[in-house]
Structure 1
């Protein structure tokens, strides 16, 4: 039945109804019309697909051509991603007199998404630094990127450990959960993330605090990374407009590294306590003090926050 005929029938039915007001007549008719149109469109689309499939079965050469074209597009996308992953090495800068190279920018959302196939960030944008990343997830990114490039992974044996400080031994997760229900003053079981790092591997890893701070100074003697004027080199609470910004928009430091003061906090390898890991650099929501090259603090390895990001390094094996 034609759509126009259905519309006229519905109009006639509603016109003879004595129980509906003029307004409800219109709403009722409009709703029925939209429902019928959606159903007819779905039927037409299904019939089109069936007809196309039948036609393609009768024309195997065209079917093969279309399938080949679809596969070429898939391969092109894989190659595009692979080239982007490979291009990350172009962002690495050899740090003078040190045995590592460091990424000139914080890891971006595009780079993260290409490797991890998701985007945890609160502020969305390909060239924005990835945030809402825990230390553990940053480590997973390093290993995943190393694997995609055929490099030796730096990290291994990552797992949570539950340790009874009073009894001086590892315990179960169940024991830990029971202990957390006690009053704070009586807690004796701690939880921390244990993992091994091979600093001689040629894959990607997080910098140590010492490596990060050395690189942040850039061979210069400034309060912030690249300047004594934070507005020249960093996004912080006074100029960020309460958000992250695309990487490499400010002045770099003496080694050509961007955003080491501000934009997002950057996870480092070192343990701040049994349960925590250090981070450096300050962020878009921090004051100037936290953006200094000597700043460091720690947070739980599993913690995420819209100010937490990271950058990566690779060991070079020689100074």
Structure 2
């Protein structure tokens, strides 16, 4: 885990032509996306379309990622960051995300020391690492994307990291974030960040926001874990 310093980031949305500043507290973020070996060690599952211990895990839904975070927290003796409700979600009062025919209600406890997904403001702040351009370095040096990936995922950590020691924030696999994209328009759709191995160069930029239904599972969508500072 890398300790990301506090800072300020301006998020923007091309669809609505709006931008908004966000203050980000210091937090911990995994240096690389969660690997298939890590996911299997915690959950016993191997959902990915491609196979390789050091490849990023993919074909995981948003509920899969929050369950993984809780399971990893318990395994390491930490307080889980999320309370996950059943189909009724009674008494949790958190965010909702469809999971098959049921509704999963997830409440985040920001005071917990366990693993969680980064917010999209945390993600972009970490990705930029103090830079202001569209990327933290030349794309071919920092990311696996359509022009250099041979249309497949690659082992994590194989490209140059940003200034804070974080790898693969652009390219390889998209990453789930905590946030709902725009609940008034898209309901429970969650934010995706970073671009993937099949994307053109314009999708692999620090500011690019995408969205998907929380049950979405595809071979270029994974995640990385974060933790709040004690």
TM-based fold match above 0.5: yes
Which runs of no fewer than 5 residues in structure 2 stay unpaired?
A: 7-24, 90-97
The residue aligned with 1:145 is 72
Change over 3 Å in CA distance of 1:148–1:192 after alignment to 2: same
Q: Does 1:106 align with 2:33?
A: yes
Query: How far apart are 1:218 and its partner, in Å?
Result: 0.9
Answer yes or no: is the 8 Å Cα contact 1:275–1:301 preserved in 2. Answer: yes
User: Whose helix proportion is higher, 1 or 2?
Assistant: 1
Q: Equivalents in 1 of 2:214, 2:26: separation in Å?
A: 26
Encode CA deviations 1:129-167: one digit per residue, 9 max, x unaligned.
0000111101110000001011000110334569xxxxx
Answer yes or no: is the 8 Å Cα contact 1:107–1:130 preserved in 2. Answer: yes
User: Whose strand proportion is higher, 1 or 2?
Assistant: 2
Answer yes or no: is the 8 Å Cα contact 1:192–1:275 preserved in 2. Answer: no
Q: Does 1:251 align with 2:160?
A: yes
Change over 3 Å in CA distance of 1:200–1:125 after alignment to 2: same
Q: Equivalents in 1 of 2:192, 2:88: separation in Å?
A: 21
Which runs of no fewer than 5 residues in structure 1 stay unpaired?
A: 1-91, 163-172, 178-190
Q: Does 1:277 align with 2:190?
A: yes
SS at match of 1:267: strand
Query: How far apart are 1:296 and its partner, in Å?
Result: 1.1
**More moved, 96-105 vs 128-137:** 96-105
Q: TM-score, normalised by structure 1?
A: 0.59
Q: Equivalents in 2 of 1:194, 1:234: separation in Å?
A: 34
Q: Equivalents in 2 of 1:157, 1:264: separation in Å?
A: 25
Pairwise mapping of residues 115-154 of structure 1 onto structure 2 (< 5 A)?
A: 115-154=42-81
Q: Equivalents in 1 of 2:51, 2:31: separation in Å?
A: 21
1 or 2 for the larger relative contact order (CA 8 Å, sep ≥6)? 2
Q: Equivalents in 2 of 1:217, 1:284: separation in Å?
A: 19
CA RMSD of aligned residues (A): 1.8
Answer yes or no: is the 8 Å Cα contact 1:193–1:301 preserved in 2. Answer: no
Q: Does 1:292 align with 2:209?
A: no
Query: How far apart are 1:120 and its partner, in Å?
Result: 0.4
Q: Which has the larger radius of gyration?
A: 1
Answer yes or no: is the 8 Å Cα contact 1:159–1:195 preserved in 2. Answer: no
Query: How far apart are 1:302 and its partner, in Å?
Result: 1.1
The residue aligned with 1:195 is 106
Q: TM-score, normalised by structure 2?
A: 0.82
Change over 3 Å in CA distance of 1:198–1:241 after alignment to 2: same
Aligned residue pairs: how many?
A: 198
The residue aligned with 2:94 is none
Query: How far apart are 1:222 and its partner, in Å?
Result: 3.2
Pairwise mapping of residues 67-86 of structure 1 onto structure 2 (< 5 A)?
A: none
Q: Does 1:214 align with 2:141?
A: no
Answer yes or no: is the 8 Å Cα contact 2:36–2:54 preserved in 1. Answer: yes
Query: How far apart are 1:221 and its partner, in Å?
Result: 2.4
Q: Equivalents in 2 of 1:237, 1:159: separation in Å?
A: 39
